[in-house]
């Protein structure tokens, strides 16, 4: 399996040298492993140039299959650990920033009191990329809005209201709450969450169109942009609980509520440590 591991690491790092450093091999050893894989598949998988490494057309075709083989081998090793007990298990989670900043640190801390040898790997993303990571086996489970998932089991955990975020000197800042129609006339900074955007869905349901000026992937970047007067936005209350930006938060009429939950492929075949952590979270939120 070393040649699959080497290939995946070269793709991740974009360099034979960096991949070798990460894996603890020599560069020539990594080259030989890639050559072994190319010989096995009777093709050339990688272009090598001074600018780095890129996939050949055949490499693009083989990549998802090699990824699946590599992830399946990792799952096999995790299953071996599971058979030996929970000690040393690894829990791989797909998450977005509001959850990873506000929920996961405390959940992980409390879980490790019970199982101190368990390790965590967090992979940041948005709804669409998290679902993709669950499906290809890059993570064991992920936080999502269940409405964004159609073909995976989901478990809702908690509702989270979304609030309007305005500069302190904005004309609407003195209002008790604001309407969607009022917000639709303002320069809008959209939090890009993949194929599903709760604010855009609500605007659409109310036959309104926001004046979207920016699409941004990070909540905290949006808050900084609002603070500097570049526009207004709609962000989850969860991420607005502990911020030091100078801005104003307002309830919206009609309200926008998103549900935060988790999704996975098949809970029965997840590593034992991940199953325990999922049950731990469900009990905590219940």
- Looking at the fold, whether 242 and 182 belong to one and the same domain comes out as yes
Is the Cβ–Cβ distance between 74 and 82 less than 8 Å? no
CA distance linking residue 264 with residue 118, whole number of Å: 19
- Looking at the fold, whether 115 and 75 belong to one and the same domain comes out as no
Q: In which domain, by residue range, is 120 found?
A: 86-156+260-285
Domain edge (last residue) among 82, 101, 129: 82
Residue reference for tokens 């591991």: 5
Q: With 90 as the cut, is the pLDDT of residue 115 above it?
A: no
Name 251's Cβ contacts closer than 8 Å, sequence gap at least 6: 161, 163, 164, 176, 177, 178
Residue reference for tokens 């190319």: 38
- Looking at the fold, whether 152 and 265 belong to one and the same domain comes out as yes
- Looking at the fold, whether 115 and 171 belong to one and the same domain comes out as no
Q: With 80 as the cut, is the pLDDT of residue 251 above it?
A: yes
Phi, psi of 255 (to 5 degrees): -65, 150
- Looking at the fold, whether 44 and 63 belong to one and the same domain comes out as yes
CA distance linking residue 134 with residue 4, whole number of Å: 20
CATH number at residue 55: 1.10.10.10
- Looking at the fold, whether 109 and 186 belong to one and the same domain comes out as no
- Looking at the fold, whether 173 and 248 belong to one and the same domain comes out as yes
Is the model more confident about 77 or about 17?
A: 17
- Looking at the fold, whether 98 and 7 belong to one and the same domain comes out as no
CB atoms within 10 A of CB 151: 8
pLDDT band at 71 (very low <50, low <70, confident <90, very high): confident
- Looking at the fold, whether 142 and 280 belong to one and the same domain comes out as yes
- Looking at the fold, whether 127 and 267 belong to one and the same domain comes out as yes
Q: Read off the pTM.
A: 0.67
- Looking at the fold, whether 148 and 281 belong to one and the same domain comes out as yes
Is the Cβ–Cβ distance between 250 and 162 less than 8 Å? no
CATH number at residue 273: 3.40.190.10
122-169 per-position pLDDT tens digit: 999 888 899 999 999 999 999 999 988 989 999 999 999 999 999 999
């Amino acid at each position: 399996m070393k040649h699959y591991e080497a290939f995946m690491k070269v793709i991740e790092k974009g360099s034979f040298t960096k991949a070798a450093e990460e894996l603890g091999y020599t560069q020539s050893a990594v080259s030989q492993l890639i050559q072994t894989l190319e010989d096995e598949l009777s093709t050339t998988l990688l272009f090598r140039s001074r600018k780095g490494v890129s996939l050949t057309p055949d490499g693009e075709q083989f990549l998802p299959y090699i990824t699946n083989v590599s992830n399946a081998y990792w799952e096999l090793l995790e299953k071996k650990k599971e058979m030996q007990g929970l000690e040393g298990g690894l829990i791989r989670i797909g998450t977005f920033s509001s959850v990873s900043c506000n929920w996961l640190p405390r959940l992980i801390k409390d879980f490790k009191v019970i199982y101190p040898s368990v390790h965590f790997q967090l992979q940041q993303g948005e709804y669409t990329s998290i679902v993709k990571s669950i499906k290809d086996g890059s993570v064991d489970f992920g936080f999502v809005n269940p409405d964004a998932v159609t073909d995976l089991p989901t478990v809702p955990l908690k509702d989270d209201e979304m609030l309007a975020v305005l500069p302190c000197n904005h004309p609407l800042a003195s209002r008790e709450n604001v309407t969607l129609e009022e917000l639709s006339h303002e320069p809008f900074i959209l939090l890009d969450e993949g194929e599903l955007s709760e604010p855009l869905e609500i605007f659409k349901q109310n036959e309104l169109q926001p004046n979207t000026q920016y699409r941004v992937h990070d909540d905290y970047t949006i808050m900084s942009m609002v603070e500097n007067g570049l526009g207004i936005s709609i962000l989850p209350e969860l991420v607005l609980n502990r911020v030091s930006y100078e801005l104003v938060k307002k309830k919206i009429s009609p309200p926008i509520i998103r549900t935060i939950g988790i999704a996975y492929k098949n809970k029965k075949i997840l590593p034992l440590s991940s199953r325990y952590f999922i049950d731990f979270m469900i009990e905590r939120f219940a």
